[in-house]
Amino acid sequence: MRWESLFEDLEALLEAESAREKTSEIQEAVRVERAREALIQRLSPQINAHVEVQLLGGDRLHGRLAALGKDWFMLRRGEIEELVPIHALSGWTQRTQGQRQDAGEPRIGLGQALRVLVRDRARISIGGIDGSLLATGTLDQAGKDFLEIARHERDEYRRAPALQGSSLVPIPVVAWVRREN
């Protein structure tokens, strides 16, 4: 009788150890999977959530997370749209629940998103990662690593007589691009 009890105890110990090992393996697999997750993937479930973001220069933006790209996101607040490169982000606070974006990995890069603004002849303002206003006007070109902005008064259209010059802004110093309607 004592032998049967001893064997049952040993069997229970082996099963418990096996369960602990399996739990440990699962936990490690989850940690590895989470370590592979990129910031944009982490933000994906927050589409349509109301968020506040802190940028490198101290600027704070808020709005509904309207879109995600490979290296940018867009906030919408009423009629205002702000395109923010991920490199300018220093903090993120989600205020309301969002919904998962099922389109898979974001494929549109920052350059492509900026070229849409060029195509639309959009009037924009550009903020820098140092917190300054870098330029306002019409986005004329989105190059590989720079933006060219035709400068003119806010209430003027981009016409030759209204132009006050142009500005070149390196993309790495851009914290946000605000589309003005």
- Residue range 56-74, pLDDT digits in tens: 989 999 999 999 999 999 9
DSSP letter, residue 96:
S
Between 29-33, 89-93, 116-120, 139-143, the lowest mean confidence (pLDDT) is in: 29-33
Tell me how far apart the alpha carbons of residues 18 and 117 are, in angstroms, rounded to a whole number: 58
CA–CA separation, 175 vs 169, rounded Å? Answer: 11
d(CA 178, CA 125): 5
Residue (of 68, 69, 74, 38) closest to 53 by Cα position: 74
The pTM of the full predicted model, rounded to 2 decimals, is: 0.77
* Locus of tokens 């070149």: 168
pLDDT digits (tens, 9 = 90+) for 29-57: 777 776 767 778 888 888 899 999 999 98
Tokens of 74: 């867009």
Model confidence at 4, pLDDT cuts 50, 70, 90, reads confident
